[in-house]
Chain A
Amino acid sequence: MTVTRLYPLLMVVPLAAIVLMLPAGAVAEGPGYLIEDGRHALVALLALALLLAGLMMPDKGGRIASTAALGTAGFLAGLLLLLRLHEGLGFRWNGGAAWTVLLLICGLLWVTMERLSALPGRITMILVPAVFGGMLVYFWEIFTVGFSVPQILLPAPSVIYATFMADLATLWVDFEQTYIRSAVPGFLMGCGAGFLTAIAIDRSPFLQRGLLPLGSLVSAMPIVGIAPIMVMWFGFDWHSKAAVVVVMTFFPMLVNTTAGLQAASAMEHDLMRSYAASYGQALVKLRLPTALPHMFNALKLNSTLALIGAIVAEFFGTPIYGMGFRISTEVQRLNVDKVWATIAVAALAGSISYGLLALLERKTTFWHPSQRKANT
């Protein structure tokens, strides 16, 4: 081991000692320190050891190991700070130690992400965003708890999680009403109708030239505005919400399917003609497959539109359950944590449906350039 490899030891240890001696924030009795009992000391020591190990590890072959060590060190340091904050340690502007630790965590996780994103493989494609997302949630938690941000403004993730777990039954009823009964049928009907219309006008360029500009025009319009009209026509229950979703999802599907049906190249058309393929055969074997990437774009866009449409439509009249109803009533009662729990459900549902569609897209359009593995 050369002397240069010992430099981190010489720099990190005194720095760590100073940080741990300094007050990190305020507790009820006075200044609070990061280390108050044995558990804290254990976590801090472990983090320090991993940090040093990560910094001093030889470069050759130690890249993954040192990255893991640095990442874990950052995680442990974050854990320590989080633990202390939940034990009643509030940040103060002179709580220099807390800020130093926070900066350290930030740096460590950044280095980890940087090294991870240099590595090839699918795991890093998931791991890097996961670390980044975890970091965002962590800072959200740290700042809301540390600065005791009023809950009305922004509840901490831990509070939201607790509410989420406590209210599972209510959330499920809302989810069932809004997602399963309104958004999904509306999505299926709207996309189905858009698809069928695109097929129907496929043989009439006249209708296409008439409908397509209007279709893209309608996409630019605030369609959610028709929600009150639909509530008036179809009543307060899910029918009106599904109707809004149908209108919102119809046009993107129509426009994209029509564009997709024209995506096949002249060469491919010629091939079909040389096979003496009928219109139907060419449609099923050539044009629908080439239209799939376009259709999936519309489907993915529509999956988020459907949820938005269903929720916003509930603002204009609804039975006493549903995610939109929950959001609008709990906001008025200032139960912001319940609102955020509902938002979490919506975000989860939206992400999962988007993810499922993306997965389906990868399985069905594996031949498309955008799905091939980048070879850079």
Chain B
Amino acid sequence: MSAPVYAPEAAVAPALSTRLARRLHRGRVLPIITVLAVLLAVWCAGTVYMNAPRSIEMLERQGPDWTFQQLLDATWSMDRPVVPTPVQVFTDIWQNTVEREISSRRSLIFHSWVTLSSTMLGFAMGTVLGIVIAVAMVYVRTLDRSLMPWVIASQTVPILAIAPMIVVVLGNIGLTGVVPKAIISSYLSFFPVAIGMVKGLRSPDPLQLDLLSTYSATRSQTFWKLRWPASMPFLFPSLKIGVALALVGAIVGELPTGAQAGLGARLLTGSYYGQMVQLWSALVMSAVLALLCVFAVTAAEKMVVAAHGGRR
């Protein structure tokens, strides 16, 4: 027998009997569901493990003879658990979104809206800034040489870490509410847009640029008819990263506002008062929000690609 010969395709799983099973196996749905199920199981097991000490203490008080079943029940139904169960978290989200008035201070929809509005403003500002920087860098050589290292260096400043200070300082000069958070979001989201757009605006090859110059196209014609459309496939992936970063920026920007409103404020109060269920549901909610934002950008991408008559 010789050593097994290297063959990447050989790693594909064994054949399955039915066609449906094979399709499920080859597709992405089954793997994702499997991984999610494993994660959920780990979560439940983790709940038992982390809540066990306090539950055992409680059960010991009631009597010395308790069963494992009782322990499970106790860990999964604690009032103030160390780790809430998935059911507790989703019940909390359900109660605070569907069953509560939107105007209520405890409505998660209200808090999500506060976060989302500053995310959107910051994202818009960051996108415009990123595009302007990219256009300037593509057309002005001095800026290309001088600005690029600083654009990269700007992201080594841990802006998230100083976000609370920025909010406090801007609050001191009367800028409160959405704007300070939006500034943090835009600082984070301009970077991927600028980097992606520089690549995108440079993506037309010399042949295409030569063609336009044989048409004696002006600089603005070259920009709008060639460079800008050519940069679209680069713009949207950057926007997806940018919108996710903008959301992170908005949430961290809400931490120091004295727990007034927003998902960040929910995180902070949850952490201060040991309300783990509230904290986890705010986390899950922000994840959902992130997904919605990325999906919105994807939808916009599809529309733009369709409008350009493209197929990708």
Contacts and interface: CB of A to CB of B under 8 A. Distances in A.
Real binding pair: yes
Contact of B158 (A116, A206, A311, A316): A311
Interface of B is mostly: helix
A220 B244 contact: yes
A335 to B, nearest CB: 11
Interface string A346-366: 110011001000000000000
A173 B267 CA distance: 29
Contacts of B164: 315, 327-328, 331
A210 interface: yes
B161 A346 contact: yes
B224 interface: no
Contacts of A219: 244
A26 B247 CA distance: 46
A279 to B, nearest CB: 5
Contacts of B32: 209-210, 213-214
A67 B274 CA distance: 63
A229 B244 contact: no
B161 A113 contact: no
A208 B35 CA distance: 10
A343 B163 CA distance: 11
Interface stretch (A33-41, A123-131, A190-198): A123-131
Given A210-B32, A224-B160, A308-B158, A315 B244 contact: no
A286 to B, nearest CB: 9
A117 interface: yes
Contacts of A153: 169, 172-173
B142 A117 contact: yes
B161 A308 contact: yes
A336 B282 contact: no
Interface in B1-40: 2-8, 11-13, 25, 27-28, 30-36
B94 to A, nearest CB: 20
Contacts of A331: 164-165, 168-169, 256
Given A222-B248, A327-B162, A152 B172 contact: yes
Given A132-B147, A220-B244, A327-B165, A273 B6 contact: yes
A46 interface: no
A297 to B, nearest CB: 12
A229 B268 CA distance: 11
A228 B252 CA distance: 12
A232 B82 contact: yes
B274 to A, nearest CB: 8
Nearest to A331: B165
Nearest to A343: B162
A233 B51 CA distance: 11
Given A152-B172, A347-B157, A206 B25 contact: yes
A279 B6 contact: yes
A222 B290 contact: yes
